[in-house]
Amino acid sequence: MTVTQKLTMAHFRTPLFNDWCPGCGDFGILSSIQMALAELQIEPHRVVVFSGIGCSSKTPHYINTYGIHTVHGRPLPFALAAKLANPDLTVLAVGGDGDGLGIGAGHFVAAGRRNVDITYILYDNGVYGLTKGQASPTLRRGLKTKALPRPNLNDAVNPIALAVVCGYTFVARGYAYDTRHLKELIKLGIQHKGTSFIQVLQPCPTYNDLHTKEWYAGEDRIDPETKKPIPRLYKLEETGYDGEVKSPSDEEAVAKAVEAIKKSYEWGDRIPIGVFYRNPYVPSYDQRIASVAPIYLQSPPAQQPIRTRSMKPVANVSPLFDELRVHY
Partner 1 sequence: MGKNGKKKFTLSWMIGGAQGSGVDSSANLFSYSIASAGYYVFGKREYYSNIKGEHSYFNVVASDSPVRSTVDSVHILASFDAETVFRHAWEVEEGGGIIYDVALENERLRNIPTIEERVKAEVAERLKNENVGETLRDVLTVAKRRGVRVYPIPYMDLIKKTGEIIGEQQLTLLLRMVNTMAVAASFAILKADINRLHRGLSYAFRAKKAVVDMNFTACKVVYDYVKDNFSDDFPITLPNRKNDEDLILVNGTTIVGIAKIVAGCRFQSYYPITPAADESVYLEDKQVFNLNPVSDGDEYEYPHLAESRQLSDKGHILVFQSEDELAAIDMAIGASLAGVRAATSTSGPGFSLMAEGLGWAGINEVPVVVTVFQRGGPSTGLPTRHEQGDLLFTIFAGHGEFPRIVIASGDMTEAFYDTIKAFNYAEKFQVPVIHLLDKSLANSTQTIPIPSVNEVLLDRGLFINEHLDGKTYKRFEFTDDGISPRAPLGTRGAIFWNTGDEHDELGHISEDPVIRTRMMEKRMGKLEIIKESIPASDKIATYGDPGAKDWIISWGSTKGPILDALEMLEEEGVGPIGFLQVKILHPFPAELCLETLQSAGRIIDIEQNYSGQMGRLMAMETGLRPTNLILKYSGRPFTSTEIRDAVKEVLARNTKRIVMNRGG
Q: Please state the closest distance from residue 128 (CB atom) to partner 1, in A.
A: 17
Q: Please state the closest distance from residue 13 (CB atom) to partner 1, in A.
A: 12
User: What is the Cα–Cα distance from 1 to 148, expressed in whole angstroms?
Assistant: 54
> Total residues contacting partner 1 (rule CB under 8 A)?
71
Q: Please, where are the H alpha helices in 154-249?
A: 159-166, 179-191, 213-217
* Residue 87 or 203 having the CB closest to partner 1: 87
Which of 3, 10, 153, 311 is the binder for partner 1 (CB under 8 A)?
311
Contacts of partner 1 in 230-289 (CB under 8 A): 289
User: What is the Cα–Cα distance from 112 to 115, expressed in whole angstroms?
Assistant: 6
| CA distances for 314 relative to 45, 102, 213, 217, 309, angstroms | 29, 44, 59, 61, 10
Contacts of partner 1 in 71-110 (CB under 8 A): 71, 74, 76-82, 84-86, 88-89, 106-107, 109-110
Q: Is 307 in the site for partner 1 (CB under 8 A)?
A: yes
User: What is the Cα–Cα distance from 124 to 216, expressed in whole angstroms?
Assistant: 13
Q: Is 149 in the site for partner 1 (CB under 8 A)?
A: no
Q: Please state the closest distance from residue 303 (CB atom) to partner 1, in A.
A: 4
Classify burial at 296, counting beta carbons within 10 Å of its beta carbon; exposed 0-12, middle 13-18, buried 19 or more. middle
User: What is the Cα–Cα distance from 231 to 223, expressed in whole angstroms?
Assistant: 10
What string of DSSP letters covers 54-120?
SSGGGGGGGBSSEEEE-STT-HHHHHHHHHHH-TTSEEEEEEEHHIIIIITHHHHHHHHTT--S-EE
Which of 18, 66, 213, 230 is the binder for partner 1 (CB under 8 A)?
66
* Residue 49 or 236 having the CB closest to partner 1: 49
Q: Please state the closest distance from residue 320 (CB atom) to partner 1, in A.
A: 5
Q: Please state the closest distance from residue 220 (CB atom) to partner 1, in A.
A: 38
Contacts of partner 1 in 109-128 (CB under 8 A): 109-110
Q: Is 315 in the site for partner 1 (CB under 8 A)?
A: yes
Distance of CA 256 to the CA centre of its chain: 21
Q: Is 70 in the site for partner 1 (CB under 8 A)?
A: yes
Options 21-29, 63-71, 189-197, 253-261: segment touching partner 1 (CB under 8 A): 63-71
Q: Please state the closest distance from residue 183 (CB atom) to partner 1, in A.
A: 22
* x-marked contacts with partner 1 along 23-62 as a string, rule CB under 8 A: --------------------xxxx-x-x--x----x-xx-
Which of 16, 186, 220, 269 is the binder for partner 1 (CB under 8 A)?
16
Classify burial at 158, counting beta carbons within 10 Å of its beta carbon; exposed 0-12, middle 13-18, buried 19 or more. middle
| CA-angle at 23, arms to 20 and 27, nearest 5° | 60
